[in-house]
Amino acid sequence: MRCMEYTHDLPAATHSKPNKKRWHLAFATIYCSRAFLAHFKKSTVKSKSKVSPVPSHRVVIDVVEPPLFFSNIDHSCLTRLVKEKNLDQLVTFDGVEGLASALKTHVENGIGAFKDPTILILLVCAALSLGFGIKENGPKEGWYEGGSIFVAVFLVIAVSAISNFRQNRQFDKLTKVSNHIHVEVVRSGRRQQVSIFEIVVGDVVCLKIGDQVPADGLFLDGHSLQVDESSMTGESDHVEVNHSHNPFLFSGTKVADGYGQMIVTSVGMNTTWGEMMSSISRDSNEQTPLQARLNKLTSSIGKVGLAVAFLVLLVLLVRYFTGNTKDENGNKEFNGGKTKVDDVINAVVGIIAAAVTIVVVAIPEGLPLAVTLTLAYSMKRMMADQAMVRKLSACETMGSATTICTDKTGTLTVNQMKVTKFWLGQEFMEERSNTSIAANILELLHQGVGLNTTGSVYKSTSGTQFEFCGSPTEKAILSWAVLELNMNMEELKQSCTILHVEAFNSEKKRSGVLMRKKADNTINVHWKGAAEMILAMCTHFYDPSGNMKHLDDGERKKFDQIIQGMAASSLRCIAFAHKNVQEEVHEDGKSQQKLKDHDLTLLGLVGLKDPCRSGVKKAVEDCQYAQVNIKMITGDNVFTARAIATECGILKPDQDLNGAVVEGVEFRNYTPEERMEKVDKICVMARSSPFDKLLMVQCLKQKGHVVAVTGDGTNDAPALKEADIGLSMGIQGTEVAKESSDIVILDDNFASVATVLRWGRCVYNNIQKFIQFQLTVNVAALVINFVAAVSAGEVPLTAVQLLWVNLIMDTLGALALATEQPTKELMKKPPVGRTEPLITNIMWRNLLAQAFYQIAVLLTLQFRGESIFNVTQKVNDALIFNTFVLCQVFNEFNARKLEKKNVFEGIHKNKLFLGIVGITIVLQVVMVEFLKRFADTERLNWGQWGACIGIASISWAIGWLIKYMPVPEKPLLSYLKWQNLMYIYKSSVTYRVFDLP
């Protein structure tokens, strides 16, 4: 974890007094040079996200430049070397042995595990300090300084190792959940869902569009099956799988079109792709809004710290060499040539150590750890709320979301279809029984439903129960045909032969089948799909008596009205049509022949009801209340889409629908300027294609929105990838959609999307709380040490004390503030978006008020504490350290609420927060009372402890009072921009000119 980079360095400057050891000079030089190089490098190189060295599905917020061990190797060149199998480039590295040498890898022993240069320097310094200390002060007391360095190094390594171990265990658990894929197989004559880990050789696996092939196998049966083998070959063209030319199916490839069955020939590590299904590949090159803000913040703080440290170094050196500093006896420390060289070196080392301490104080070491802890904790809690986070940074990005583009089926609705209306011709069939339908129509309906389907019907041995498998739409239609039209699936399949199939996909929105009836060898084409699209292909229709009638314009309008009426009732309207074709046209039986899709005869219309989920309307209202726009993008027709959107609350009953509801074809035909102008007003997009959804996301991002997208199909993958946050469905979602997403909604419910939004805002808010808390510590300590160093030539807070404050205490503080639960107040605020500053004016107000109070109190103790409390300098230093730490403990309560005056609201519910505060106080008592040598403190009596607590508790009153102060809406730092300063300057000059006589 990158935050440890600076904490490694903390123990180096354990004192700021002239009797410092010489090893401080070496360490200070290395530390400052590294810090200068890192920040100067940041200012000259374009800002870009850093690729985490941990597995790519894990996110670490890199705030500090990592040490560059392999400066002679470009990482991108190394990646391309293997990817492109570039032998010529390998020769330039002197072969594999030369490359291994450049990477500092031993070809036999591998890499060494202990290469951190800072740790090595600290251990050398500790050893030197231990040796010199024992030599000068004896073994009884001489080990304290060197021992403290060793303890600090051990703490750094231990905290880092434990943290990494816990994260690895957490991510291993999540990986197991994300890899628990269910596959449909045929066993004992019925289709059933089994885990991918339960597939065995010989299994018959059912494949449909969007599935990933779970194992290696051979094609058994199916139609128009095409697979995407780009994950293996890199070629984007789809490969047709059939009996004759290519019956091979490989693990990890994706079904792009059609459907089929395969027999498994190898599983697990014996497959071609091996562990393809156990890996999750992520593209982490793009920075999240929070990452960009954090990098900018820490870079700025680092520059300020370096500038102040350099100024302190300059002032202290000038003071020393001009004779303005005195020793404990009141004599000048530097008297030209009379001063011993050894004393000069000790004094200069002490000055450099003081400057290094300033840098240590300025850098917010705990910030990256706080971010990681907050995200990891929230990710674990979101699992309980039916949201599995696959990309850690998606937690905080969701808190910035301004727009959510949601699917309809299965997300806003329950995805449990049922046929509720049936029209035969222009007559509504209330009974919908087989006795009221002409025999020839009934036979054609049986063929159109039973043969043109990817679903199946299983009848139990008792013969009384039916089990329907397939998509919700397929199951609903099959159930209707079997139970109400008395369709016998087995007899139908035995009496007919399927010649060719055109599978359903989201672009065509229809499916077709070419079949031959064995009894008389008649051949029919059957089509099924979106009602208005099938109707457009028809020229005739059947009435209930079985008579064929011509479909003229007048009759077509009547059918249009029937379709619109069902759509207005939130029904999905499906049409069936057929055409009798001549046998000789299709005798060759070519698999690629195109089915007749014109001059069809309409068989009937069915309306399927998919009711809205119970909590959807409330969830939509919550999102809208939080000023997040909800846009529904669906493949249904405009009337169904509008009805569902109104039922869910996306559209208001009295809303002006002009521009709010559009069709996909209309949206894609807009000019780019028109799209950018109208995209904000659109609430519903019907009859949309995958390209329309992607185009919508791109337009919204160009306008500055932070976009979340929900999707469950393969066709949603491009939009899920393009969105800032992709949310796939855990039940109905295809594996392609899940791989393209950042968060998986395990229950397919939009209410869980609203919960993720609430958690995202909570994560962002918790990070802001910690930043306010952390920066208060840094600002106060920076100013105190700076003023004390310049005025008195020494710093009141030693590096070991700052190690305790910045590493241990801030880590506990981060954990305490990270466990704050989402509140209703979070949904009252507008979304953060992309442009809002990370540190708001409210945070600046709270931060500066507490920092100024701490500075005033601690500087008073620094210069007048000995006389006020009538104590020695050692006790006074302990009072300063104790008061400083207790101020942070009390201020931790203030940080719980950035705006509310009552900072104790709901605190009884957060037992972990109270526990951490208690642990912090206990550890502070141990530091002051029992670790006097290690922490350079003195014991305090009850009265002194009471004084420290009383001073620190005043921060509660200050936090309460300061919240009455209003703050401007314009970000505070915007006034410090060069353009604004120039404007103020020009305005003042103009004023003076006009004021001249």
407: annotated active-site residue: yes
Catalytic residue selected from 407, 692, 716, 742: 407
Quick one: tokens of 953? 């508790």
By the 8 A CB rule, do 452 and 528 touch? yes
Q: Which of these, 311, 192, 441, 459, lies nearest to 783 by C-alpha position? A: 311
**Tokens 């099938």 — which residue?**
534
Distance CA(39)–CA(63), nearest Å, equals 11
By the 8 A CB rule, do 595 and 514 touch? yes
Count of residues making up the chain: 997
Q: Which amino acid is at 891?
A: N
Distance CA(556)–CA(68), nearest Å, equals 73
Torsion angle, CA of 931/936/942/946, rounded to 10 degrees? -120
Q: Which amino acid is at 153?
A: V
Quick one: tokens of 361? 């104080």
Quick one: tokens of 641? 């889409």
By the 8 A CB rule, do 117 and 67 touch? yes
By the 8 A CB rule, do 301 and 778 touch? yes
Residue 898, SS3?
Answer: coil
Q: Under 8 Å CB-to-CB from 429, ≥6 apart: which residues? A: 422, 423, 436, 437, 544
Say how many C-beta atoms besides its own lie within 10 A of residue 553's C-beta.
Answer: 6
Distance CA(733)–CA(994), nearest Å, equals 70
Q: Which amino acid is at 881?
A: F
Residue 867, SS3?
Answer: helix
Torsion angle, CA of 493/497/500/505, rounded to 10 degrees? -10
Q: Can you say how many angstroms the Cα of residue 65 is from the centroid of all Cα atoms in its chain? A: 22
Q: Which amino acid is at 441?
A: I
Q: Can you say how many angstroms the Cα of residue 799 is from the centroid of all Cα atoms in its chain? A: 36
CA distances from 700 to 7, 295, 673, 675, 697 (A): 41, 25, 13, 10, 5
725-729 and 427-428 beta bridge pairing: unpaired
Helix H or strand E segment including 744: strand 743-745
Distance CA(583)–CA(522), nearest Å, equals 7
Q: Which of these, 937, 811, 814, 935, lies nearest to 156 by C-alpha position? A: 811
By the 8 A CB rule, do 578 and 603 touch? yes
Strand segments (E) across 597-704: 600-609, 629-633, 661-663, 684-686
Q: Under 8 Å CB-to-CB from 992, ≥6 apart: which residues? A: none
Alpha-carbon torsion (823, 829, 835, 838), positive or negative: negative
Distance CA(759)–CA(384), nearest Å, equals 12
Distance CA(343)–CA(334), nearest Å, equals 9
Alpha-carbon torsion (21, 27, 32, 35), positive or negative: negative
- Assign residue 743 a region (left: φ > 0; alpha: ψ between -120 and 50; beta: otherwise): beta
DSSP letter at 892 equals H
Distance CA(15)–CA(937), nearest Å, equals 12
Q: Under 8 Å CB-to-CB from 890, ≥6 apart: which residues? A: 952, 953, 955, 956
The residues annotated with a catalytic role in the active site are 407
